[in-house]
Amino acid sequence: MILNDHITYEGKKTKPIKPVPGREKRKQHKDFCETAHHRQTYSLQLPGEKGCDPSVLPSSHRPRGCFSGYSCGPTVYDRAHLGHACSYVKFDIIRRIMTRFFGIEVIMVMGITDIDDKIIKRANEMNISPLALARIYEEDFKQDMAALKVLPPTVYMRVTDNIPQIISFIKTIIDSGQAYATSQGNVYFDVKSWGKRYGVLTTIHPDTQDEAVDTDKRHSKDFALWKAAKPQELSWTSPWGKGRPGWHIECSTISSAVFGKQLDIHTGGIDLAFPHHENEIAQCEVYHQCEQWGNYFLHSGHLHVKGSQEKMSKSLKNYITIKDFLKKFSSDQFRMFCLRSRYSSAVEFSDESMDDAKHLLQAISSFIRDANAYIKGQLVCDPVREDILWERLANTKVTVKAAFADDFDTSRAVAAIMDLIHHGNRQLKAVTKDAGSPRSSVVYGTIISYIEGFFNALGMSFGERQVAVGGDNSAVLSNVLDELVRFRTKVRHYALALPEEAAEAVPMEGATGAKGPKEEQKEKRQQLMRERKPLLEACDSLRGDLAAFGIHIKDRAAVSTWEMVEGGQAKQQTEEKS
């Protein structure tokens, strides 16, 4: 991203800050990369041009208003887990914020590591080729991302599709004097030769004491650009013999092939800051002979399992696969979990934290249902103070935009939305009698539209009839439920209503031993209640049965309304078993 004096939104400007020229810009940002808990806040002027058609072009040829973004993709040797999901969902949210709230199109490239030590080891265990294994788990990863509603990148780039480009990239670094080939067929980046330019991101400097080196490296901090092939290992021919690329050179080559010598945003987990991103910077600035290759490195915080200080990872065997997670929770619930903290913060995963996210979603859905019921006249309330609600809505819009401009602070933005809902709910208190006062439909309709638009922009759904079945049948099911609830309401009102003759019953003239009017009225009422009790029981039974499927009916004074709560069936079954 590009630093400017102000960020401008809705005609307002924030307090100006001094622009940071050239290389110093990234040096300030490096401190943020040292820990997932630290953030660096800038005032950014995000371009407002819309309608550009992003293309995979070098930086100098990109349309105005478009940013270049590179994401370190997965090493595809196994199923993706929730730690991966947390990082990719958070960066998907940032991408959506830039596009939907600031009018910036992001040309996003994701590198797929499809050859690696782990891939080779796993393929040998499964007795299949490394590339076949990689294709299986690459497709599995893409399916997981689609299930989490993560937007696909503009283009995926596999390492094995770019071997000639990687070899050429390495040649250039060797020719510049910053890399060397060994007699064993390996090629290493010479960290000491790059001097103090190495370590600009994480303050790791090459002049610190070297550890003992038991390889063909010159120095312990040197890292591999090309690895000599081992017997029976997948390899490619190169000027240094058969082998395959090192890890760090992959991303440098792929991002440079697409964007040239300038990259706006580079994303990845905090554990990639060193050595991966640090080494990428060194490689690219040597190759392009430039002062600064990447402008911004955004790092997501670790996902921790409750009660553990360790991150969720495959190596620690403490992970939950995305597929297993989505059997219990929805993608919207996980996205709300991610929205509740800054992207750079470490977060703790537990059933309790997921329940908190579910309750927030339910509160939002409940408000939208009630507000829609009020607009339709199904919920009768006292006169609404429209001036208060209009003011709250305007303040919320300003707060949300300012929060997003402050290093994409989603937690503050969501808090502002929940505060708006709180004030909207305060005036939606039902009363028993309709005084005939006009309804404030416009203000509530506008609030609903803004809230739904906010969450839709971030990849979530809060339509008036959010039905889990999806597809073309959703509208049909919604209409069927409307008719069913309407019929139940008529039956219920009939069962509760007392006919006039029951209320006005009097004894017959001349009847001996006739009961008094009060006694006869009481008996008549009790008889009707006994006769109609099965109808009320049937209405209650229907409401309970539908609740088991996540369809909740609310009985109001005049009418009944319904809402769909995602995951309702699983919750009901769990309660019955416990």
Predicted pLDDT at 8: 27
Contact 486, 480 (CB under 8 A): no
Residue 303 phi/psi, 5-degree rounding, is -100, 120
Predicted pLDDT at 378: 84
Question: Closest Cα partner for 426 from 462, 452, 389?
Answer: 389
The mean pLDDT of 293-307, rounded to a whole number, is: 91
Is the CA virtual torsion 33, 36, 42, 44 positive or negative?
positive
Residue 461 has pLDDT above 90, yes or no: no
| Of 574 and 270, the one with more pLDDT | 270
Condensed to tens digits (0 to 9), the pLDDT of residues 503-522 reads 454 444 454 455 677 788 88
Q: In angstroms, rounded to a whole number, what is the distance separating the alpha carbons of residues 392 and 419?
A: 9
The mean pLDDT of 67-96, rounded to a whole number, is: 96
Determine whether 76 is exposed, middle or buried from the number of CB atoms within 10 Å of its CB (0-12, 13-18, 19+): buried
Contacts of residue 324, defined as CB under 8 A and 6 or more positions apart, other chains included, come to: none
Contact 104, 46 (CB under 8 A): yes
Among 56-65, 230-239, 296-305, 339-348, whose mean pLDDT is lowest? 56-65
Q: In angstroms, rounded to a whole number, what is the distance separating the alpha carbons of residues 552 and 558?
A: 17
Contact 9, 278 (CB under 8 A): no
CA atoms within 13 A on the CB side of 322: 26
How many C-beta neighbours within 10 Å does residue 260 have? Answer: 18
Residue 323 has pLDDT above 60, yes or no: yes
Question: Closest Cα partner for 267 from 56, 33, 60?
Answer: 33
| Of 392 and 566, the one with more pLDDT | 392
Q: In angstroms, rounded to a whole number, what is the distance separating the alpha carbons of residues 475 and 388?
A: 35
Q: Residue ranges of the alpha helices (H) in 328-409?
A: 331-339, 351-375, 386-405
- Average pLDDT of the chain to the nearest whole number: 82
Predicted pLDDT at 12: 30
Enter the tokens of residue 283. 């490689």
The mean pLDDT of 106-120, rounded to a whole number, is: 96
Residue 267 has pLDDT above 50, yes or no: yes
Condensed to tens digits (0 to 9), the pLDDT of residues 170-188 reads 999 999 999 999 999 999 9
